[in-house]
Chains A and B, each alone.
Chain A
Amino acid sequence: MSEHTESKDRSQLRQKRMIADHFERLSRAKEEGKKVVYTFVPGNLTELIGAFDMLPVLPEINALQSGMRKKSAGYIAEAEKSGHSEDVCTYVKCDIGMLRSGNIGPTGTKLPEPDLLLLSYTGCFTFMKWFELLKQEYKCPVVMLHVPYQPDGVITDEMRSYVVEQLRTEVIPAMERVTGTRVDVDKLAAHLSLSKQAEDDLVAVWESARHRPSPIDGYFGGVYYVGPIFSSFRGSHDAVMYYRELREEVEARVARKEGPMAPDGPVKEKYRLVVEGPPNWTNFNEFWQMFSREGAVVVSSTYTRVGGLYDQGFRHDPSHPLDTLADYCLGCYTNLGLPSRVDLLAKYIREYEADGFLVNSVKSCNSFSVGQLLMLRKLEEKTGVPGGFIESDLVDPRYFGKANIENRVQSYLQMLEARKARGTSADAVVSP
């Protein structure tokens, strides 16, 4: 085994172990008297959950894992049997279907029922409906944190104090009631401090993509990198170790001038792209290979920022625990107005010297897809860099049209190529 394969595997193996351990802990939660919180990725309050020694379950992550493990089609069919329309977010249907099929988690162990449903981000309307459905199933308390939208890309003092007030008067008391313990602010601050360390390293990993070739793929590879920090591990020692290791591995790749690894081997960078929108999970590797085989590397993406815009300066701040949690919830990528999203994408295109940007539009995901065509046009105007548009779905395999998507991806990449060669084409010198 070569040196770089060994080092590449280290962080991956650690992540795998962390996930297995977490689901193992969840499977023992009831017998060990641990309380379980179901919550979402955007605006997740993992440090606060950790401060109460509660264990988080993230239905979105379970749904995407089901998609990758080819189980989502059956779960979605199960949900449709109980009356959910074809147009409903497929994460929701996959989760409901999994619940109806015995609630077996991605690692094969049964998931414990929730003691609390914590909705800490309201930017996605579907989340509210999702938890209304779960509430009917579980008969446990629900606590909702109303998070104001950022129309102008600015978090005002009023917005922050509005969220902090809800944390103080609703969220924390609900957690105290469920666990029977008082909030331990020191413990919360300790978790927040660990979060900050991991966030510093994650930002270094993102920014490594400024190198040529980029040592990482910031979308297909990136979804693995955000795994721990988006889910149950932020604020843990494990996460700190994971991101330190990952950063070291990536820095070693930079030193060796290596490109990213794709499912079928190293990618030789030919195109640098920025991607907007979530990936497709049911055909994830197939989708990735459509890019990697053409030498297309994603240098930055917005999907990998839904769990925090750390590269734009945000860090969890242990000295202001509630304010920082409020800022985190308010700062989700999908909580930004369209102009802010366009500005951020334009910044990525510029700073990462992208040749193009691509939107993967998922009709059933309103948070992302509303306004994407407008964003595409605005970005083209703003940057002069050509945009591409493809459509797929999160976890419903029926909506992954391979031929159609591949055609668009190839057309788009060939378009970038043709633009580079502009003026040297045959018909430019031949009169019609």
Chain B
Amino acid sequence: MKCVVGIDLGSTTTKAVLLDEQGGILGRGITNSRSNYEVASAVAWTEAVTSARFDLLERAMPSTSGSWAKPMKDAFRLELFIDELAELRATILRNLERSLTVHGDRKALATTVGEVLDRVRRKAEPLFVGGAPRRSEFFRDIAGALYVAEAEEISRAGGAPFEQLAALYDRAILEVETRAQRRDVGGLLRRALDRVLPADRAENATARAAAAQAIATAAAQTIEEIAVVGTGYGRQTLPFARESVRSEILCHGRGAHRVFPGTRTVLDIGGQDTKAIQVDDHGVVTSFQMNDRCAAGCGRYLGYIADELNLGLHELGPLALQATKSVKVCSTCTVFAGAELRERLALGQKREDILAGLHRAIMLRAMSLLARSGGVQNEFTFTGGVCNNGMAVKVLRELVNENYDPTTTLNIHPDSIYMGALGAALFGLDDARAGRLAPMPPFLRAVASEVSA
């Protein structure tokens, strides 16, 4: 199958989207950018190919498979998580063996880590197949939150010191998430199938045969990338062909408009950029404004605040939503805001109330950019990593109501972090249709041949 690829190299995360020739979304992948965009784009792209394989499977499944298609998808993701967890375990144990700083009984420590990871695996299961709420799609977030909780418990019960366990995780997760993995998609699918339709039950025989046929059909499909477009902060540093690079402002505007065709205004808050974009009825950008000189108020600001409070980034919003009042935070300079946070905590103010104020401070900055770009028009689509934060959304809604038409539709898509990559892929599709085929850049091709082997 021919497809086009959009890769969005954000300052925090790198995203990849694969589209088929009709413009349908085939696969998506995401990873942390860290400082190595080359690896990050290879990882995100590899993930997108893996998820595309699953999508191909879904397309190959008979219509009668409705009852098990969804569980199959969940099981596939769980199997993928288990695969990644195994990789994490191997990495921790390898690091532990080579570590110069760990003294004492390494064997006992290895056993404890094993115990923590076993528990993580057990606890993760209901998050994927049990319908329990999963706050993040990131392996890092899900595994990290579970690991910390389990390590704390084991440590409290007299196991290894928590700091030691946490340090092992911190080092290994960086390695795991920046390593492009060749996934045995066929194996993952078979394991998922066994989970959903166990082979030892006779009544599953027909469905299993149909699924096996679908898996074979999907596996036989080749994925051929005919055009690649790169966007995002890191696009200039990567060896993409010049004509294969597009501005992220255009890509975000276009991606948002594709998902919500009524969109006229887009607010994108990413790691270090806030962009206010106006688009026309074709999704073409007509005006934009972005932050200048200072990135306070962007995603990294929230990351810094989360670190100050010793919380995960995804925990900030839910905590702030518990606020009973909003403490006024004057500064949106990240460093000053951190100082103000500590000062207010010392004065006895509640974390959630201070956080509510911080969220408002961020959104006031965004409102200024929106005003400068031409205001908020209906419909208004909020994208970027920060739109996963419930408090940020709540405050934005309030501010839109105060300053613009309160009946304005506010769109937020659960996958809005992919909007830039989606827009890039759409530009890739334009290129492909106009006969401008852009081959995969060599650094990605190297990974591609490995993965499709």
State yes or no: do A and B come from one complex. yes
Q: CB-CB < 8 A to A423: which residues of B?
A: 282
The 8 Å CB contact of A414, one of B236, B246, B257, B426, is B246
Main secondary structure of the interface of B (DSSP, over half): mixed
Are A426 and B250 neighbours in the complex by a CB distance under 8 Å?
no
Q: Is A418 an interface residue (CB 8 A)?
A: yes
Q: CB-CB < 8 A to A34: which residues of B?
A: none
Q: CB-CB < 8 A to B429: which residues of A?
A: 426
Q: Is A180 an interface residue (CB 8 A)?
A: no
Q: Is B166 an interface residue (CB 8 A)?
A: no
Q: Is B164 an interface residue (CB 8 A)?
A: no
Q: Is B247 an interface residue (CB 8 A)?
A: yes
Nearest CB of chain B from residue A419's CB, rounded to whole Å: 5
Nearest CB of chain A from residue B26's CB, rounded to whole Å: 13
Nearest CB of chain A from residue B17's CB, rounded to whole Å: 13
Q: Is A386 an interface residue (CB 8 A)?
A: yes
Are A391 and B284 neighbours in the complex by a CB distance under 8 Å?
no
Are B258 and A427 neighbours in the complex by a CB distance under 8 Å?
yes
8 A Cβ contacts from B366-413 to A = 372, 374
Q: Is B261 an interface residue (CB 8 A)?
A: yes
8 A Cβ contacts from B229-278 to A = 233, 236, 246-250, 254, 257-259, 261
Are B372 and A414 neighbours in the complex by a CB distance under 8 Å?
no
Q: Is A403 an interface residue (CB 8 A)?
A: yes
Q: CB-CB < 8 A to B71: which residues of A?
A: none
Nearest CB of chain B from residue A388's CB, rounded to whole Å: 8
**Given A419-B284, A425-B426, A432-B259, A404 and B250 contact (CB-CB distance below 8 Å):** no
Are B250 and A415 neighbours in the complex by a CB distance under 8 Å?
yes
Q: Is A407 an interface residue (CB 8 A)?
A: yes
Are A407 and B284 neighbours in the complex by a CB distance under 8 Å?
no
Are A425 and B285 neighbours in the complex by a CB distance under 8 Å?
no
Are B282 and A428 neighbours in the complex by a CB distance under 8 Å?
yes
Nearest-CB residue, chain A, relative to B288: A411
Are A401 and B285 neighbours in the complex by a CB distance under 8 Å?
no
Are A414 and B250 neighbours in the complex by a CB distance under 8 Å?
yes
The digit string for A317-348, where 1 denotes a CB below 8 A from any CB of B, is 00000000000000000000000000000000
**Given A373-B372, A422-B284, A425-B284, A407 and B247 contact (CB-CB distance below 8 Å):** yes
Are B293 and A401 neighbours in the complex by a CB distance under 8 Å?
yes
Are A415 and B284 neighbours in the complex by a CB distance under 8 Å?
yes
Nearest CB of chain B from residue A206's CB, rounded to whole Å: 28
Q: Is A430 an interface residue (CB 8 A)?
A: yes
Nearest CB of chain A from residue B235's CB, rounded to whole Å: 9
Q: CB-CB < 8 A to A129: which residues of B?
A: none
Q: Is B65 an interface residue (CB 8 A)?
A: no
Are B250 and A411 neighbours in the complex by a CB distance under 8 Å?
yes
Nearest CB of chain A from residue B384's CB, rounded to whole Å: 15
Q: Is B99 an interface residue (CB 8 A)?
A: no
Q: CB-CB < 8 A to A428: which residues of B?
A: 282-283
Nearest CB of chain A from residue B236's CB, rounded to whole Å: 8
Nearest-CB residue, chain A, relative to B257: A427
Count of interface residues, chain A, beta-carbon cutoff 8 Å: 30
Nearest-CB residue, chain A, relative to B246: A414
Nearest CB of chain B from residue A424's CB, rounded to whole Å: 8
The 8 Å CB contact of A418, one of B24, B261, B284, B433, is B284
Q: Is A380 an interface residue (CB 8 A)?
A: yes
The 8 Å CB contact of A391, one of B23, B24, B261, B292, is B292
**Given A414-B247, A425-B426, A391 and B372 contact (CB-CB distance below 8 Å):** no
Q: CB-CB < 8 A to B46: which residues of A?
A: none
Are A427 and B285 neighbours in the complex by a CB distance under 8 Å?
no
CA distance A426 to B249 in the complex (A): 17
CA distance A426 to B426 in the complex (A): 6
Are A430 and B22 neighbours in the complex by a CB distance under 8 Å?
yes
Q: CB-CB < 8 A to A403: which residues of B?
A: 233, 236
Q: Is A377 an interface residue (CB 8 A)?
A: yes
Q: Is B84 an interface residue (CB 8 A)?
A: no
CA distance A421 to B430 in the complex (A): 10
Q: Is A156 an interface residue (CB 8 A)?
A: no
Nearest-CB residue, chain B, relative to A392: B292
The 8 Å CB contact of B287, one of A386, A414, A426, A432, is A386
Are B286 and A386 neighbours in the complex by a CB distance under 8 Å?
yes
Q: CB-CB < 8 A to A421: which residues of B?
A: 430
Nearest CB of chain A from residue B80's CB, rounded to whole Å: 27
- Name the residue among A380, A386, A415, A419 with the largest chain B CB count within 10 angstroms: A415
Q: Is A127 an interface residue (CB 8 A)?
A: no
Q: CB-CB < 8 A to B286: which residues of A?
A: 386, 415, 419
Q: Is B289 an interface residue (CB 8 A)?
A: yes
Nearest CB of chain B from residue A381's CB, rounded to whole Å: 11
The digit string for B11-42, where 1 denotes a CB below 8 A from any CB of A, is 00000000000111000000000000000000
Nearest CB of chain A from residue B418's CB, rounded to whole Å: 14
**Given A411-B249, A418-B250, A430-B23, A425 and B293 contact (CB-CB distance below 8 Å):** no
Q: Is A82 an interface residue (CB 8 A)?
A: no
8 A Cβ contacts from A166-199 to B = none
Are B259 and A415 neighbours in the complex by a CB distance under 8 Å?
no
Nearest-CB residue, chain B, relative to A377: B374
CA distance A192 to B283 in the complex (A): 55
Q: CB-CB < 8 A to A408: which residues of B?
A: 290
CA distance A386 to B23 in the complex (A): 28
Nearest-CB residue, chain B, relative to A417: B250
Are B288 and A425 neighbours in the complex by a CB distance under 8 Å?
no
Are B261 and A432 neighbours in the complex by a CB distance under 8 Å?
yes
- Name the residue among A386, A407, A427 with the largest chain B CB count within 10 angstroms: A427
Q: Is A410 an interface residue (CB 8 A)?
A: yes
The 8 Å CB contact of A422, one of B24, B257, B282, B427, is B282
Are B426 and A427 neighbours in the complex by a CB distance under 8 Å?
yes
- Name the residue among A404, A419, A421 with the largest chain B CB count within 10 angstroms: A404
Q: CB-CB < 8 A to B283: which residues of A?
A: 425, 427-428
Q: Is B280 an interface residue (CB 8 A)?
A: yes
Q: Is A224 an interface residue (CB 8 A)?
A: no
**Given A425-B430, A432-B261, A418 and B285 contact (CB-CB distance below 8 Å):** yes
Q: CB-CB < 8 A to A407: which residues of B?
A: 233, 247-249, 290
Are A426 and B430 neighbours in the complex by a CB distance under 8 Å?
yes
Q: Is A222 an interface residue (CB 8 A)?
A: no
Q: Is A112 an interface residue (CB 8 A)?
A: no
The 8 Å CB contact of A399, one of B293, B374, B433, is B293
Nearest CB of chain A from residue B420's CB, rounded to whole Å: 12
8 A Cβ contacts from A61-114 to B = none
Nearest-CB residue, chain B, relative to A376: B287
Nearest CB of chain A from residue B4's CB, rounded to whole Å: 9
CA distance A277 to B287 in the complex (A): 19
Nearest-CB residue, chain B, relative to A424: B430
Q: Is A56 an interface residue (CB 8 A)?
A: no
CA distance A421 to B434 in the complex (A): 11
Q: Is A387 an interface residue (CB 8 A)?
A: yes
Nearest-CB residue, chain B, relative to A398: B293
Nearest CB of chain B from residue A270's CB, rounded to whole Å: 13
The 8 Å CB contact of A411, one of B247, B254, B259, B293, is B247
The 9 nearest A-B residue pairs measured at CB: A430-B23, A411-B247, A426-B429, A411-B249, A415-B285, A391-B292, A418-B284, A427-B258, A414-B247
A-B contact pairs, 10 of them (CB 8 A): A373-B372, A401-B293, A411-B247, A414-B246, A422-B280, A422-B284, A425-B254, A426-B23, A427-B23, A427-B426
Please give the residue numbers on chain B whose beta carbons come within 8 Å of chain A beta carbons, in ascending order. Answer: 22-24, 233, 236, 246-250, 254, 257-259, 261, 280, 282-290, 292-293, 372, 374, 426-427, 429-430, 433
User: A404-B293, A415-B285 provided; 20 other pairs, C-beta below 8 A?
Assistant: A380-B287, A386-B286, A386-B287, A389-B372, A399-B293, A401-B292, A403-B233, A404-B290, A410-B247, A411-B247, A411-B248, A415-B286, A419-B284, A421-B430, A422-B284, A424-B430, A425-B254, A428-B283, A430-B23, A432-B258
